[in-house]
Structure 1
Amino acid sequence: MEKKNHANVLQFILKLIAWVLLYLSFWRFDDFYKTHHFLNDVSNAFNLFLTSSILFSIGRYIVITLYNKRHENRSVRGNFVLGISRLTAVLNTSVAIIAIMLAIGINPREFVTSMTIVAMAIAVTFREYITNMISGLFIMFSDQLSVGDRVKIGEYKGRIIDITFSSLIIQDEEDDMVMVPNNMVFTSPMVNLSAHRSSLFSVRFELPLQTAVEIGKLEDAIQKTLINHPYLTGEDDLNLKVVEIGKDYVKYKMEMHATSSSSKLHTQLENEILKEVLKFKRAYDLET
């Protein structure tokens, strides 16, 4: 996050320097621009883009700063910052398109007027994407869902790792990336598994098939480690579940509820369980 902020600051400084240099060129080479109309149009278009982009960046910074200041003393689950960033990107893109039109001598207002019928056809053709984009904006500016939440939307279940204008990017339990259209949040049954203090998560691992006869020892060791764990709610039976049996391996899964939806905490608990798995595997190898 810090690297991204540094990149944004550097980008803003570069745009500001380019804007200053462009204005100095207007003042220093005024006669040159008057005699070279194409370069004059390109420079004016570039000036429009830089000026707008700088203003958008300043506005974005002010809005986010005020928002963070207002909510600094309470936990906020929303995606306000993400929504503002995405909206700023859309505004920059829109101004860039207008600037390109001006640079090549096209009047944007006349172009839009003449393209009304075509625009309607495009709107019908891309209706699904447009509705997904609107749904994405609703999600970004609401506190119903947030990056990092574990959700179940229709048949899809996993952790949200990104929210775009077209879809939610979900990492499922098999570590696959699933792109769920934003519309599904409003048209399908949706459960936010991270909305409460307890958060369900699972730990998966694989062992050789021959260890299956001794798996009870591993289960007992894991239960002793977790039975009174301060970061577990204590509402789970902590039993290993067989997920898949292969030719020479068995895949296991254990599900439990943590007292927090923090991914850092989940990783800590997962490491404790996997350490017991390694101890079991090492002891089994020594015995055989």
Structure 2
Amino acid sequence: MEATQKQVIDKASQKEKRRRLEFLVKLFLFIGVVIWRVYYEDFLENEYRIPKNLINALTFYISAHIIISFTRLMLVAIYLRRHHRQAGFRNNFVIGINQIASLLSFVALVIGVFFLFSIDPKQFFTSISIIAAAIAILFKDYINNMINGLILMFSDHLSIDDYVGIGDFRGRIIDITLMNVHLLTDDDDVIYIANSTILNSSIVNHTKRNQRKIIIEFSVVPNQIEGLNELERYLEQSLKEWKSQILADSAQLRVVAITTTTVNIKFQLILQRPSRRLEKEIRRHLNWQIISYINEQKRTESLSS
């Protein structure tokens, strides 16, 4: 999982460097368009019969695109410098700015097409208002997803690299787009969850809590345990291998709820320092120890009867 995360970070860093290189290319192209409009517009139109609509459309789109790209780069650069981050760093703010820049670039492209075909935008949208309403209804879920994506990007409920539980899925967030959230599970599978689904689901953000705390919750039948103290000692002794990495006297077991058929129990401990690898290792060990303890109690009960 850590190797996959490193690949994601490296990919994001390369993508940011490529964006900066693309900006330089766009800048030179923009300078070329300005020179073209000032000195050669009539020449190109008369000699090469290039339509003026095409010149206007290209000029508008390239100018708008360079302004959007420059603004995006400046906002991201200021944010990274203020927070002492390197190029390629990704969080909700950076992703949100990138997605908004992409949306604005698409809008600029649409307006450029209007210039190309000499279409009056106001008249165009008025004439297709009924069709536009039908399209809005058909693509309601997509539009809703995009709005929810922007909400997620500029909120602090979920962030890149958070370890979360969403419904039946559990893993680390590696990307947030306008359509979905990319979740990297413990098995290194990437799951795409729609933004609307996330905002309508119960979410457990394990990163927001104490990152050093490990909590195991389980239920047992009352006659499967002889006493809480014995079970607590059993689990503590099984953790001798990691004793130096666990905060002293932090391991404790307590009853969460009691019903007529089960006892809900919570066992928790605190690590000396946060470590996702160590947490995963200890969590797996404790789960197997609890299962072994319950099975042993069942065998003892069957032999005594």
Task: Compute the TM-score of the two structures, normalised by the length of structure 2.
Answer: 0.64
Tell me the equivalent position of 1:52. Answer: 64
1:266–1:190 Cα change, 3 Å: closer
Tell me the equivalent position of 2:187. Answer: 174
- Deviations, residues 116-175 of structure 1 (Å, cap 9, x unaligned): 111111111111111111111000001110111111122222211111111111122333
**1:109 matches 2:122:** yes
Whole-angstrom CA distance in 1 between matches of 2:70 and 2:17: 15
Tell me the equivalent position of 1:13. Answer: 24
Deviation at 1:91, TM superposition (A): 0.4
**Paired residue secondary structure (1:197):** coil
- Deviations, residues 39-64 of structure 1 (Å, cap 9, x unaligned): 32222211111111111122223333
Is 2:212–2:271's contact at 8 Å kept on the other side of the alignment?
yes
1:142–1:180 Cα change, 3 Å: same
1:235–1:51 Cα change, 3 Å: farther
Is 1:78–1:145's contact at 8 Å kept on the other side of the alignment?
no
Deviation at 1:184, TM superposition (A): 2.1
1:231–1:56 Cα change, 3 Å: farther
Tell me the equivalent position of 1:28. Answer: 39
What letter corresponds to residue 210 of structure 2 in structure 1?
Answer: R
1:169–1:256 Cα change, 3 Å: farther
1:148–1:41 Cα change, 3 Å: same
Of 184, 197, 218, which residue of structure 1 is paired with 2:210? 197
What letter corresponds to residue 21 of structure 1 in structure 2?
Answer: G
Of 263, 266, 271, which residue of structure 1 is paired with 2:276? 266
Of 146, 165, 183, which residue of structure 2 is paired with 1:133? 146
Whole-angstrom CA distance in 2 between matches of 1:167 and 1:114: 33
**Paired residue secondary structure (1:228):** helix
Task: Compute the TM-score of the two structures, normalised by the length of structure 1.
Answer: 0.68
1:233–1:25 Cα change, 3 Å: farther
RMSD: 3.7
1:174–1:270 Cα change, 3 Å: closer
Tell me the equivalent position of 2:75. Answer: 63
Deviation at 1:70, TM superposition (A): 5.1
Show structure 1 runs of 5+ residues with no match: 202-221, 238-254, 273-288
1:160–1:231 Cα change, 3 Å: farther
- Deviations, residues 183-224 of structure 1 (Å, cap 9, x unaligned): 1222121111111232679xxxxxxxxxxxxxxxxxxxx945
Q: How do 1:252-263 residues align onto structure 2 when only pairs under 5 Å count?
A: none
Deviation at 1:37, TM superposition (A): 6.3
1:257–1:122 Cα change, 3 Å: farther
Deviation at 1:257, TM superposition (A): 6.9
Show structure 2 runs of 5+ residues with no match: 1-11, 215-237, 254-267, 283-305
1:100–1:38 Cα change, 3 Å: farther
- Deviations, residues 58-83 of structure 1 (Å, cap 9, x unaligned): 2223333444455559xxx9611110
Q: How do 1:168-247 residues align onto structure 2 when only pairs under 5 Å count?
A: 168-198=181-211, 223-229=239-245, 235=251
User: Which of 1 and 2 has greater Rg?
Assistant: 2
| Identical aligned residues as a percent | 28
**Paired residue secondary structure (1:169):** strand
